[in-house]
Amino acid sequence: MNVMGKTLAVVAFWLGFPGLLTAQDKAFVTFDLLPSPMTNGRLDCVTLPASVPIQLILPEDIVQDSIEQFRFGTNKYVVRWTYTEEGAKKMLAFRKAQDGQEVITRVGSFEFRGNIKPRDSYPPGWVNDEGWLKRRTDKFFGVSEDDARKIVDGLKKK
């Protein structure tokens, strides 16, 4: 058998018996050139995370003259605004649907990953839809100056 034939036989053997060549204690492993589908008796695969819902805050959802940015401490800023009536209804519906879940909030080029606080974790009477729809305010608190600028730019109509 020539060298090429021997090489093909070894590769075929190795691919046919990956569990044998990747013993748990690694004492028998002699062919560590390619990854094996088995590691310590378990499949070695990557699990993709479930998709995370994205909450988009668009300029048309915001009362334009309500946008405020101010400094709060050293290098920390607050950006706050008021939603339009339609924007507030849209945000309320999204938050109800994603209650207690992780979400991504995107405003222009700014993106924040966090959880929506479960409605049942508030004290009784603290959260009600009618009260929130009257005030319709929201904010990002403690962001950097650069992030505050991105948020304001994302909230304003161009």
Domain positions in the chain are 3-43, 54-155
At 125, is the pLDDT very low, low, confident or very high (cuts 50, 70, 90)?
Answer: low
Residues 20-59 pLDDT 10s: 444 444 444 444 444 444 444 554 455 545 688 999 999 9
Greater confidence (69 vs 21) lies with 69
* 110-115 and 137-143 beta bridge pairing: unpaired
